Structure 1
Amino acid sequence: MLSIYVACLAAYNDGELHGRWLDLKDYDSQEELVAAIEDMLAASPVPDAEEFAIHDYESTEFDTAVEIHEYAGTDYVWRLEMALRETSDPDAFAAFLSYHGNDLTYAMDYFEEAYHGLWSSIEDYALEFFEDVYGDVNFPGFRISVDTVAWESEHTVIDARGGVYVFSCI
């Protein structure tokens, strides 16, 4: 799901660029990821290099950008990768995470409970929600106030490619 560029800080501080792109799907555990970083550090042009930073990151597998800070550490990065692998919808998870200030613990705890799906429009979601609550609404002159349904149902709507993600407010 994610790739990170880890850089050797000793080399960086010495005016050299030494690092490696790591595709996290190539690793089965956080320990394997740490070992790959240690291998990169061992190959540093600066002897006994010990510190690294994440200088870049990317994902080509989903639309919403996640944010990884330079000193996030392998624990955060690995937890994020596992959450993206295990969730029902990685794009929606990334949007939920971003909406909630990149609070990974919150996103991991509440995403599945809050997520209602990807809808072509908020109007489509509101109509189905209304029908679920009140039954068949196919009669002449029926109109629905999307704003009222959104307010009454306490939902968060996040724009997505091809529609909107809808989440319960938790």
Structure 2
Amino acid sequence: MIRNYFRKNSFFKLNSIFFLVFLVLFACAKPENSDEIKTENKKVFNPNIDQKAEEASKGFILGQRKNTIYEFSSANPIWRATLKVLEDIPLNTANYAGGIISTDWYTTGSSKESVKIQVVFYENKVAVSAFDVKTFKKNCVSNIDCRVSKGSESFNNKIKDSIINKTRELTILEKEQKKK
């Protein structure tokens, strides 16, 4: 009997649907104070106006450029030596300003082991402590089942030593070219 009543009374069905939609819409409403942003949680960026004015007064605007990126990328022998050492491996990232060189996953032949090398530069001076080498190994049983682990310290040190040796070579070549 109740079934017949619901079938015949489409008005009741329509009202029931509207009521359910009304409940769903208002149940998902955001709280009233969600638009308020607490200023103590926000970090406010205040540019150093005095520093910018001092840089501008030194002639930066009139054509005397600061060579921070240029200096790091082409004048830093460790950076250039790293690029020479890793020249046969495809690079994923080489960011001069950020001071990082990262290779893509590299494998030789049909090996199921891949290596990724990351060199992070901390300083612009030529020193062993100015950069760090990190390696990662990926062993794949199949295309789906791969395990990534950190490379060994001895492998990292071998790469670091080869970068240092290449830096020495480049520095000696530069000095010889300047003498000529």
TM-score (normalizing by structure 2): 0.22
- More contact order relative to length (CA 8 Å, sep ≥ 6): 1
TM-score (normalizing by structure 1): 0.22
